[in-house]
Chains A and B, each alone.
Chain A
Amino acid sequence: QVQLQESGPGLVKPSETLSLTCAVSDYSITRGYYWGWIRQPPGKGLEWIGNIYHSGSTYYNSSLKSRVTMSVDTSKNQFSLKLSSVTAADTAVYYCARRDGYSQFDKWGQGTLVIVSS
């Protein structure tokens, strides 16, 4: 049963870079699928951030594209998210997930809350 687990700092200062990692267990990310990041500001809806394939191909939300970088480390079976120049508006629970097919995310991490504050 594939499992995903997010990790990273829970507090980031404004203007700095948010960095998160998603460790995947019981499934090799090189076997396929796209791997994605989705966030949810407190009390608000879900927002797709982007997807990455094991080959390193990336696809980002156009509204965040200028600040987002995703990468994959196949040796550690994990993928990562970097979001630069953060503001309070980037405060959210960040989820990593496996994308199966064109629009469905079938496996999710538990989510990690990142607060942007000085």
Chain B
Amino acid sequence: QSALTQPRSVSGSPGQSVTISCTGSSSDVGGYNYVSWYQQYPGKAPKRMIYDVTKRPSGVPDRFSGSKSGNTASLTISGLQAEDEADYYCCSYAGSNTVVFGGGTKVTVL
């Protein structure tokens, strides 16, 4: 199980949109519609932001959205806010009741 590939960092100004990619293979991201995204602040546990590629749990702002094309999933944050500055991780089902995480992306609000 190789970690999914994410950019190390992305940045944007308040109000802008940023997109984080998560690239895997046909054995994980491309093979199932089971990708989730997590937001993590320093010293805190991750928080689920998106699940099943596009679904948003209650309480998560609608400016967070997910999508997938082929072996790459994406998380888009629209209308970037200062509080969105955090690390983000993708996670995909990889068959046989296993999952794999991405390496993480640091989002910086300029």
Contact = CB atoms under 8 A, between A and B. Distances in A.
B32 A102 contact: yes
Contacts of A100: 51
6 contacts: A45-B103, A46-B101, A48-B98, A103-B51, A108-B47, A111-B45
A62 B52 contact: no
Given A103-B93, A106-B51, 8 more contacts: A45-B103, A46-B104, A62-B1, A102-B34, A103-B52, A104-B91, A106-B48, A109-B45
Nearest to B2: A63
A104 B103 CA distance: 16
B100 interface: yes
Interface residues of A, number: 25
Counting contact residues on chain B (CB < 8 A from A), the size range is 20 to 34
A-B pairs, top 7 by smallest CB distance, nearest first, are: A102-B34, A104-B51, A59-B97, A108-B45, A102-B93, A104-B36, A45-B104
Interface string A84-118: 00000000000100011111111011110000000
Interface of B: 1, 3, 32, 34-36, 38, 45-48, 51-52, 57, 89, 91-93, 96-104
B8 to A, nearest CB: 10
B92 A103 contact: yes
A102 B36 CA distance: 9
A110 B98 contact: no
Contacts of A80: none
A46 B46 contact: yes
Contacts of B45: 95, 108-111
Q: Taking each of A99, A104, A108, which has the highest tally of chain B beta carbons within 10 Å of its own beta carbon?
A: A104
B80 to A, nearest CB: 22
